[in-house]
Amino acid sequence: MGERSTDANPPSKSTCHTDLCCQDHQTQQETAKKSTIKDPVQLSWTISGMDCPSCAASIENAVLGLEGVSQARVTFATERLLVSAENLERTSDLILKTIRELGFSVKDDEPSPASTLNSFLLKYWRILVLAIITLTAFIEPFEGDLLFYLATLWGLYPVTTKAVKLARNGTPFSIETLMSIAAVGALILGEMAEATIVLLLFMIGEQLEAFAAGRARQGVRKLMALTPQTAHRIDADGNRTEVSARHLKPGDIIEILPGSRLPVDGELLTPNASFDESALTGESVPVEHDSGQSIMAGALSVDRVVRLRVISEPGESAVDRIIRLIEEAEERKAPVERFIDAFSRWYTPLMMSLAALVALIPPLAFGQPWTEWVYKALTLLLIACPCALVISTPAAITSALARASRNGALIKGGAALELLSSVTTIAFDKTGTLSEGKPVVTHVEPFTQSVQDVLCFAAAVEFGSTHPLAKAIVSKAEEMALELPAAQNVEAKAGLGVQGTVNGQTVVVGSPRHLQKCIDPSAQQKLINLEDQGNTIAVVTVNEQLVGFIALRDNPRADACEVITALKAMGIRSIMLTGDNPRAAAAIAGQLGMEFQAQLLPGDKSTAIAELQHGGRVAMIGDGINDAPALKTADVGIAMGSGADIALESADCALTHNRVTELANLVDLSRATMRVIQQNIVLAVGSKALFLVTTLLGLTGLWVAVLADTGATALVTANALRLLSKRQKY
């Protein structure tokens, strides 16, 4: 049934996926956009029966043409129809009627069959009847022609009916149209047996495409099934009530039983609980969490009953965001996919024109037999079906996106996936990306104040900051049981430091580069000595007077060296871009065996990325606010899942866990995806070219053309499905 969508924004305008969709699609979009809508509502349905992106485009075109609909988007990957419309009840009924008229169904309306046999007969009864009549016609030669004629009419009726409905709703060049013309033409020519076989093969091929499409969406379906529909909510009196997961709001307390999954994101209230997060992060070992930590929706409670406080809005859990990204990815097409879309817009009309010329020119100009050349023209029409070519790219990309999400990586579209396959350089932020992101204070060097005073001033202005260095300073002050004074007018400047007022004095905590004017020659030597030991230095000043240095050290991640080695083996250059001092940066880079650039402000990182792009495509991976400009500048921006929200929004990809080794697997997956797409295009186009030649030479006929098209579609889809089971190399 239709329901109000939880998306904050109305569905965005979709683009036509293939020339099997309407030529007037753009005109409909513009007309709908100009219409005035009063009190629009957002509706959502789950559609079944879509075999390829052309089916999604057909539904989208038809719904867009309905009165009262302002926007419509069909996502093939998740089988969802999202509509923005007025007059909820009237428009909803009209949309459902249109969907059914096109031959598709709404999943919630489908009856549950009583048995597997009944389900099989209900789904395939038309094909079974056609197969029985065709077999009888071959066995009974005396009545064969009549039976073939009846079989053709039986198979032609649903195909032609659907072709007419699609044409009325803006999709004139559908495969059903081509099949109808070919079958009717074969009947006129007296080739009744071939007409019957063509329709039988076509109907079987459609079911094979549906099966293949279902397998391609399998990874996405598993994601959608991760979150349960209900949850046990605990009220103020401690009573448990089972409620719909949609009704949970931030602040609600829920209880999860062992072996159950979280329906929403939550803050753990139970101490020391283990969760299996493999479905979202790819991490096979259960992870132990303490109270206060955030747990993603879809995580499974391993060994005990746990309670959590809901922290995600309805429809905004980790799983919801992943699914939405996959849906949005269909609109961010890879360049190769956009090329195929553009190619398909003129491909089918061109082939229909060519078929007409094949039928007319030889008989009219050279006196050739009409029957022979009309037959060849009909065969050419079937060869013109671009199904294999159209599905070759989206099937591979959908499979790759689903595989990546199961490995703990989100890719925001096919464009990012294609670009990632061709990167020659990857730039890394240091803190929180290459390093553990948990620096500790190793030394405090006081000048005009005591060690305690230096820490008090610094911790007071850093209190509440999420930056790893700030957290380390505050943690050290708490460890020493220091009483922190209140700070006012605190102002943080990315890459520079933080400033505030403490006890009426202006306190600044920043980098040596930013506060160089406050450092005298004697203090400069101490600074150099601390940096030579691999420390990052926070300079503390009070009223522009140096009071001390705080030395911090952040060790490299255990897997950082592994990913740099893997990327080097793949021919990818690695470079660290950091705002840290050159000596601390050199210490980390030396351990990892990579290049580095140090003392970079956020703008400097963007400039460095731009310079690196002169040598090829560049990817950037980071996690902080100061990384956002560089992530945008890079050809592909990759954010660590634990990073700042702005970094995640700026990036093209995101790692939902803290395993940086997934970066190498991501590049490997993108390269494998492009190989599969190239193979699929060669297979689809090559088969068309081969049978075009054999048809014109008279070597192949109608049924071979259909079999070849169905076979090519099945092969390219099966090839794409290999990506779903691709194992991680690193």
Phi-psi region of 43 (alpha: psi -120 to 50; beta: other; left: phi over 0): beta
The CA distance from 171 to 58, in Å, is: 6
Q: How many CA atoms lie within 13 A of 450 on its CB side?
A: 4
| Residues making up the chain, counted from first to last | 730
Q: What is the residue type of 71?
A: Q
Residue with the two structure tokens 């030529």: 23
For 599-623, the DSSP string reads S--HHHHHHHHHHHGGGSEEEEEE-
Query: Tokens representing 409?
Result: 């990586």
Rounded to the nearest 10 degrees, the angle between the axes of helix 144-168 and helix 192-216 is: 50
Spatial distance between the Cα atoms of 334 and 351, rounded to a whole number of angstroms: 25
Distance CA 410, CA 656 (A): 7
Residue 486: how many other CB atoms lie within 10 Å = 10
Tokens of 277: 């997060």
Q: Give me the residues paired with residue 424 across strands.
A: none
> Which residue is catalytic, options 341, 429, 580, 623?
429
Residue 56 structure tokens? 């999604």
Q: Is the dihedral of CA 98, 104, 108, 112 positive or negative?
A: positive
Residue 450 three-state SS: coil
Alpha carbons within 13 angstroms on the beta-carbon side of residue 545 total 9
Residue 611 tokens read as 């310079």
Residue pair 279/242 in contact (Cβ under 8 Å)? The answer is: no
- Which spans in 35-87 are helix H? 53-64
Q: For residue 431, give the DSSP letter.
A: I
Q: Can you tell me whether residue 388 is helix, strand or coil? A: helix
What is each CA distance from 393 to 173, 335, 591, 681, in whole angstroms? 20, 10, 41, 8
**Do β-strands 423-428 and 617-622 pair in parallel, antiparallel, or remain unpaired?**
parallel
| In contact, 670 and 421? CB cutoff 8 Å | yes
Q: How far, in Å, CA of 467 to CA of 580, rounded?
A: 14
* Of 501, 474, 476, residue with least CA distance to 486: 501
Q: 67 vs 71, 95, 216, CA distance in Å?
A: 11, 10, 34
- The encoded tokens of residue 408 equal 């703990």
- Type of residue numbered 199: L
637: number of CA atoms within 13 Å, CB side?
Answer: 24
Q: Count H helices, E strands: the chain?
A: 24, 27
Angle at 13 between CA 104 and CA 633, to 5 degrees: 130
Residue 511 CA to residue 536 CA, distance in Å, equals 9
Measured distance CA(465)–CA(470) in Å, rounded: 6
Beta-bridge partners for 429: none
Closest among 724, 688, 42 to 350, alpha carbons compared: 688
Task: Calculate Rg over the CA atoms of the chain.
Answer: 32
Residue 532: active-site member: no
Report in angstroms the alpha-carbon separations of 392 from 76, 349, 532. Answer: 14, 20, 55
CA 578, CA 491: separation in Å to the nearest integer? 22
Torsion of Cα atoms, 253 then 258 then 263 then 267, to 10°: 50
C-alpha to C-alpha distances, 139 to 133, 143, 199, 621, nearest whole angstrom:
10, 9, 19, 67
User: Annotated catalytic sites, by residue?
Assistant: 429
